[in-house]
Amino acid sequence: MQVVRITPRGYCYGVVDAQKLVRQVAEDPKTRKPIFVLGLIVHNRHAVEELDRYGVVSLDGENRLELLERVSEGTVIFTAHGVSQEVRRRAAEKGLDVVDATCPDVTKTHDLIRTLADEGYTVLYIGRRGHPEPEGAMGEAPDRVHLIETAEDVRELDLAGKRLAVVTQTTLSRWDTDATIAQLRQLYPEVEVYNEICLATQLRQEAAVRQAEACDLVIVVGDTRSNNSNRLVQVVKEQAARPAYLVDGVDDIDPRWLEGKATVGVTSGSSTPSPITRDVIHFLEQFESQSQVGDRRE
Ligand code: SF4
């Protein structure tokens, strides 16, 4: 069995910078304590556990505003996913020190939504319900943004005669959004489209689809809550027509997936620490040699 290391994979610059910033803040003696991260700095259990060691408290929950009510003093860090204006206002009201680790690509989308809303557009934001990024982005102009996740959401719209613009979440797949955009264009031919899928997400997805074609199976290393990791599984299955599994680490690999497979590809989401992916690759290579030893003994 051959193990193909799909590249590029793993950490993007937004995740690297966010983690670096949290470590710097934690190590700076001038930082007001306690230090809280509003949400998980990135959606990966291992990455969050690493920050625990710096004495940083990660607050987990779906709604950033509700999480903020648990904080009454010290420093609050906004994650790479971004936060709404309401969260910023509330943190200031509470007199907290604020550190903003929002990814510049997410900030760019926030700026775009604000500009479009100011110009009178109604914004159709294609994103995942319950994910923090739509919560923050839609919070730029809550009265003017509709969240679109399913075909049903599109059918329920009644926006004839309005100036419309489509904006996408950064970590979706273009194949997904293309279908929704086509549906929107049919109903509202004048709609303007702003594809905000970030380059890191796009490059990882395109590489996974291209390189999966030479594989019998692809293993994606990432957390179940990581949107970009889940999308990697989806694009491999749908675009490369190969089986794909999401694993948090070696323990999640079911050896039965590997039976009879000659080539296994490995990739990882942009929030997955490299050592976890290296362990998975190492396991697969060992598994390969164990199988070959087994074959030789038979
Ligand atoms: Fe930024 Fe894209 Fe990385 Fe998200 S996946 S942190 S938007 S570079």
What pLDDT, in 10s, does the model give residues 275-293? 999 999 999 999 865 555 4
Does the beta carbon of 248 sit less than 6 angstroms from any atom of ligand 1? Answer: no
**Residues taking part in catalysis:** 133
**Quick check: CB of 277 below 6 Å from ligand 1?**
no
Q: Report the b/e string of 257-289 with b at 16+ CB within 10 A.
A: ebeebeebbbbbbbbbbeebbeebbebbeebbe
For atom 6 of ligand 1, which residue has the closest CA? 14
pLDDT of residue 290: 56
Predicted confidence at residue 263, as pLDDT, reads 96
Q: What are the CA-CA distances from residue 216 to residues 4, 29, 235, 281, 295 (Å)? A: 10, 52, 15, 16, 20
- Probe residue for ligand 1, chosen from 201, 229, 232, 267 as the CB with the greatest number of ligand atoms within 8 Å: 201
Instruction: Please give the number of the atom of ligand 1 that sits closest to the Cα of 228.
Output: 5
Which residues of the chain, if any, have pLDDT below 70?
Answer: 288-298
CB atoms within 10 A of CB 33: 12
pLDDT for the residue 15: 94
Q: Which atom of ligand 1 is nearest to the CA of 103?
A: 1
Q: What's the rounded Cα separation, in Å, for the pair 222 and 141?
A: 32
pLDDT at residue 298, rounded to an integer:
43
In our burial notation (b when 16+ CB lie closer than 10 A, e otherwise), range 196-235 reads bbbebbbebbebbbebbeebbbbbbbbbebbbbbbbbbbb
Instruction: Give the Å distance between the CA of 79 and the centre of ligand 1.
Output: 11
Distance 275 CA to ligand 1 centre (A): 20
CA distance 35 to 32: 7
pLDDT at 43: 84
User: Which one, of 15, 39, 22, 18, lies nearest residue 270 by Cα?
Assistant: 15
The per-residue pLDDT for 295 is 47
The CATH number assigned to the domain with range 2-10+200-297 reads 3.40.1010.20
Distance CA 161, CA 124 (A): 14
Residue 289: the pLDDT is 56
Cα of 72 vs centre of ligand 1, distance in Å, is: 29
Task: Report in angstroms the alpha-carbon separations of 14 from 10, 100, 283, 286.
Answer: 12, 12, 28, 33
**Minimum-distance ligand 1 atom for the alpha carbon of 13:** 8
Rg of the chain on CA atoms, in Å: 21
The CATH label, of 3.40.50.11270, 3.20.20.70, 3.90.1580.10, 1.10.3720.10, for the domain at 13-102 is 3.40.50.11270
133 C-alpha to center of ligand 1: Å?
10
Examine domains 2-10+200-297 and 13-102 and report if their fold is the same.
Answer: no
Please state, in angstroms and rounded to a whole number, the distance separating the CA atoms of residues 95 and 111: 25
Best mutation site among 100, 197, 198, 228 for ligand 1 pocket (most ligand atoms within 8 Å of CB): 198
Q: Which CATH number fits domain 105-194: 3.30.1360.20, 3.40.50.2300, 3.40.1010.20, 3.40.605.10?
A: 3.40.1010.20
Q: Output the CA torsion sign for 291, 293, 294, 298.
A: positive
pLDDT value at position 293?
A: 44
Structural domain spans, the chain: 2-10+200-297, 13-102, 105-194
Distance between Cα 201 and ligand 1 center (Å): 7
Ligand 1 atom with least separation from CA of 171: 5
